[in-house]
């Protein structure tokens, strides 16, 4: 079997994992295995696999590798927990009496996140455009990133966002305009 190094298969991989979740990397090696090229079924990039099982082309042999069920079950529990640990961030809205918390891992992308925030705080997010930010609403969603800067929600890819976001703030009115105008 030939193993190729450093091939990023993540981008084309179809997974049944939780949206936005990524496999916790406990490997320090960068080597990745290609599916068996000699496989007659011709499976290439499309892999439907859950978190723990190998790509189907590498048929899982019963009882191999030979590790005790107890150990195997422990590892799987840990992986599942690592991936479903939750990514809770505080959400505040100007004028609201108390803050809320939401789990970013639960959402697949920005539309779902906004819907949840809208439901929670009873407001409407405006229409997003790269040039102008959010139009058509008094409220603008912002977040504090790892550097402590307040950023407009929606500019970066979802994955990048949920890893960078420390807390959310729904900014209102005149304050919002400053962020909403992208020069």
Partner 1 sequence: MNYFPDEVLEHVFDFITSHKDRNSVSLVCKSWYKIERCSRQRVFIGNCYSISPERLIARFPGLKSLTLKGKPHFADFNLVPHDWGGFVYPWIKALAKSRIGLEELRLKRMVVSDESLELLSKSFVNFKSLVLVSCEGFTTDGLAAIAANCRFLRELDLQENEVDDHRGHWLSCFPESCTSLISLNFACLRGEVNLGALERLVSRSPNLKSLRLNRAVPLDTLQKLLMRAPQLVDLGIGSYVHDPFSEVYNKLKIAIQRCKSIRSLSGFLEVAPHCMSAIYPIFGNLTFLNLSYAPGLHGNKLMKLIQHCRKLQRLWILDCIGDKGLGVVALTCKELQELRVFPSDPFGAGNAAVTEEGLVLVSAGCPKLNSLLYFCQQMTNAALITVAKNCPNFIRFRLCILDPIKPDPVTNQPLDEGFGAIVQSCKGLKRLSLSGLLTDQVFLYIGMYAEQLEMLSIAFAADSDKGMLYVLNGCKKLRKLEIRDCPFGDAALLEDVGKYETMRSLWMSSCEVTLGGCKSVAEKMPSLNVEIIDECEQMEFNLDDKQKVDKMYLYRTLVGHRKDAPEYVLIL
Binding site for partner 1 (CB under 8 A): 1, 3, 26-29, 31-33, 52-55, 58, 60-75, 77-78
Under 8 Å between Cβ of 76 and 52: yes
Tokens of 54: 């190998």
Residue of 125, 149, 133, 18 lying closest to 79 (CA atoms): 18
**Count of C-beta atoms within a 10 Å radius of residue 25:** 9
Least distance to partner 1 from the beta carbon of 12, Å? Answer: 14
Q: Which is nearer to partner 1, 14 or 160 (CB)?
A: 14
Least distance to partner 1 from the beta carbon of 19, Å? Answer: 21
Length of the chain: 183
Q: Which is nearer to partner 1, 61 or 183 (CB)?
A: 61
| Rounded CA Rg of the chain | 21
Least distance to partner 1 from the beta carbon of 131, Å? Answer: 41
Q: Which is nearer to partner 1, 77 or 135 (CB)?
A: 77
Least distance to partner 1 from the beta carbon of 3, Å? Answer: 7
Q: Which is nearer to partner 1, 9 or 151 (CB)?
A: 9
Under 8 Å between Cβ of 9 and 32: yes
């Amino acid at each position: 079997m030939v193993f190729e190094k450093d091939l990023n298969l993540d981008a084309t991989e179809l997974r049944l994992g939780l949206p936005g979740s990524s496999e916790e990397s406990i490997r320090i090696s960068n080597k990745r295995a290609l599916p068996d090229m000699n496989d007659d079924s011709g499976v290439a990039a499309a892999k439907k696999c859950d978190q723990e099982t190998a790509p189907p082309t590498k048929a899982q042999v019963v009882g191999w590798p030979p590790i005790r069920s107890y150990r195997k079950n422990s590892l799987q529990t840990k992986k599942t927990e690592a991936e479903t640990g939750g990514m809770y961030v505080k959400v505040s809205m100007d004028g609201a009496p108390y803050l809320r918390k939401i789990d970013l891992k639960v959402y697949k992308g920005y539309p779902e996140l906004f819907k949840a925030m809208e439901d929670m705080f009873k407001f409407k997010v405006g229409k997003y455009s790269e040039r102008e930010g959010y139009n058509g609403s008094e409220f603008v969603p912002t977040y504090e990133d790892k550097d402590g800067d307040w950023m407009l929600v929606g500019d970066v890819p979802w994955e990048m966002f949920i890893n960078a976001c420390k807390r959310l703030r729904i900014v209102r009115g005149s304050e919002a305009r400053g962020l909403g105008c992208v020069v």
